[in-house]
Homo-oligomer: A and B are copies of this chain.
Amino acid sequence: MSYAAPVADIRFALEACAGFWRVRDTGAFPDLDESLLEAILEGVGALAGDVLAPLNASGDREGVRLSNGRVFAPSGFAEAYAQFIAAGWQGITANPSHGGQGMPRALALAAHETIHAANMAFGLAPMLTLGAIEALEAHGTDAQKELYLPRLATGEWTGTMNLTEPQAGSDVGALQTRATPAADGSYRITGQKIFITWGDHDLAENIVHLVLARLPDAPAGSKGVSLFVVPKFLPTASGEIGPANAVRCLGVERKMGIHGSPTCTMGYEDATGWLVGGENEGLAMMFTMMNSARINVALQGVAVGEAAYQKTVAYAHERLQGRGEGATAKGASPISVHADVRRMLLTMRALVQAGRAICYAAGVETDLAYHARDEDARRVARARADLLVPIAKAWCTDRGVDVASLGVQVHGGMGFVEDGGAAQFYRDARIAPIYEGTNGIQAIDLINRKVAGDGGAAMRAMIAEARATAHAARESGRPRLLRIGARLAAGADTMDEATDWLLETIGASRRDALAGADTYLRLAGDMTGAMLTTRGLLNAAPDAADAQETSALFFAETILALAPSRLSALKLGADVLFDADLGDAAR
């Protein structure tokens, strides 16, 4: 069985859980209605299922090829990409004045989920292009917008993000690539960047690199970083493809997964580029792009989990073995009638469902942060979006690995055999907790900037919502919601206690707070996922969301139920970590 876009589940998460229609209520999207939403989800979903999913395993087996400095994607990718851009799916959110559809980010997220699920390696190309569009829309000069955005919005040209250097991974301030002003107002960029996703390829005629570099005499560290646009081919005055720029792919990584996506080492040798935004303001701009990219990576965790779940549940219904405790017919039963197999399948589905709600909530709040009618509402939405981004990125990608691993397990021996198909998800999923800021970085961002940064206000507001949701669930008279509500209330209490502890501790001992950062994020994700799903159940018609209600109950009783016990790990403190002699075993 191949992948089929789970449109009903996506709409449940987007509309019922994340409150998508609040975005339309801002008045910023007059053309948006339910039939357009459905048409976009069905349209992208069909492309994902029919065109991209069939290339997932073959792209994994074949991988990319570097030849004379040019990178070739796996067979069929270029043709699939042509279909993708012909349908106009790259520019869902882009400004209509540049050829985009001007739709909300959350809608594009929902559409792109199906692309990531069908073919995570492929999905990275549009994702990076989207980041370039957002950066140039927000910070580019009019001329830059005029030149690049129409080509990026159609997908004729793709975008990249060039941050990492060998000595500068999580620490972007340590980068060394130089930019020297030229007489004509452009710059000459020289340096080497690593881990550049879709840094070169044969899908599009041009590639727009956004590159972080240092101007001469720039301040040290992250305050001396500027952003440049460096196209692979220099455009002519009329915007046509001109001569090749001095940028070259020097190598592609041999990776564990996402083999269809070239991960390039890029060499810039006096390459021509143009400053984007102000001098030495590159990092802040990169963070704008990163917030969007982080939600997209979070969504990859959900998407790869959904794909693994679909593959696995189909296998479990088809694979005959033994006689399960739910068996009704004679002879061997499908393994899906065994309680322990069902436990694994339901765990997969419950984690995907919660993660999907978190991602779409982050997307919806981001839209509201830009488009809500009054400034106060925009401010509140911005704070919520900022809070949700690191939670989404880390929680959803960690759970993506868990889900893919369960998928392998249900497949048994076939899970470990590459032709079984489950193994690829396990390998692909593993990158998401690493790139766009490791999950450890997300946890630090959450406690430092997003929680301590406003004295806990945004988090307290979300905890209050969780408590109100729990209350509504308990008042609903629906037996499962009663149980879910009890667990959610306990989860909210736990988060309150965790937040008290964090705010008290972070001033007194930053080290102790950091030692608990991962646990704090885990608690926040468990509560948020349950809160959003519960809200969805309260908003949706009960009959329409029966499957979601079962998953939510399972989540509450088997995952959220652990929340109170996690406080001991949260509060453990750093002494045990720093007392531990970690040198001894490296002897």
Contacts and interface: CB of A to CB of B under 8 A. Distances in A.
Interface of A: 1, 4, 6, 9, 164, 167, 169-171, 174, 194-195, 253-257, 309-310, 313-314, 316-317, 320-322, 325-326, 332, 336, 338-346, 349, 401, 405, 408-409, 412-413, 415-419, 423, 426-427, 430-431, 433-435, 438-440, 443-444, 510-511, 514-515, 517-519, 546-547, 550-551, 553-554, 557-558, 561-566, 568-569, 572, 574, 576-587
A313 B510 CA distance: 23
Given A409-B433, A427-B256, A443-B340, A585 B310 contact: yes
A580 B346 CA distance: 8
A546 B585 contact: no
Contacts of A580: 342, 345-346, 349, 547, 550-551, 554
A439 B325 contact: no
Nearest to A438: B412
Nearest to A316: B582
Contacts of A332: 167, 171, 174
Contacts of A417: 253-256
A416 B444 contact: no
B561 A568 contact: yes
Contact of A343 (B409, B423, B518): B518
A152 to B, nearest CB: 26
A314 B426 CA distance: 25
Given A317-B583, A346-B576, A440-B338, A565 B565 contact: yes
Contacts of A9: 585
A165 B421 CA distance: 20
19 contacts: A9-B585, A170-B322, A174-B322, A256-B416, A313-B585, A313-B586, A339-B517, A339-B578, A342-B578, A344-B440, A349-B580, A413-B435, A415-B434, A546-B581, A554-B572, A554-B576, A557-B568, A558-B568, A558-B569
Contact of A419 (B6, B254, B510): B254
Nearest to A336: B582
Given A340-B514, A413-B435, A585-B9, A561 B551 contact: no
Contacts of A6: 585
Contacts of A562: 562, 565-566
Given A169-B413, A254-B419, A586-B317, A325 B517 contact: no
Contacts of A517: 339-340
B572 A4 contact: no
Contacts of A1: 586
A556 to B, nearest CB: 9
A347 B341 CA distance: 28
Contact of A438 (B409, B511, B564): B409
A304 to B, nearest CB: 14
Given A9-B585, A511-B339, A514-B339, A569 B578 contact: no
| Complex A-B, nearest 10 residue pairs according to Cβ-Cβ distance, in ascending order | A565-B565, A558-B569, A342-B577, A256-B423, A339-B514, A340-B440, A171-B322, A561-B568, A550-B580, A339-B515
A557 B256 CA distance: 33
A423 B336 CA distance: 31
B171 A321 contact: yes
Contacts of A510: 325
Contacts of A558: 519, 568-569, 572
Contacts of A514: 325, 338-340
A557 B577 contact: no
Contacts of A518: 340, 343
B585 A426 contact: no
Contacts of A563: 565
Nearest to A519: B558
A546 B434 CA distance: 32
Contacts of A343: 515, 518, 577
A256 B511 contact: no
A69 to B, nearest CB: 20
Nearest to A444: B340
Contact of A342 (B195, B317, B582): B582
A254 B418 contact: yes
A333 to B, nearest CB: 10
Given A167-B320, A320-B167, A409 B426 contact: no
B440 A550 contact: no
Contacts of A170: 321-322, 412
Contacts of A568: 557-558, 561
Contacts of A195: 413
B511 A326 contact: yes
B585 A321 contact: no
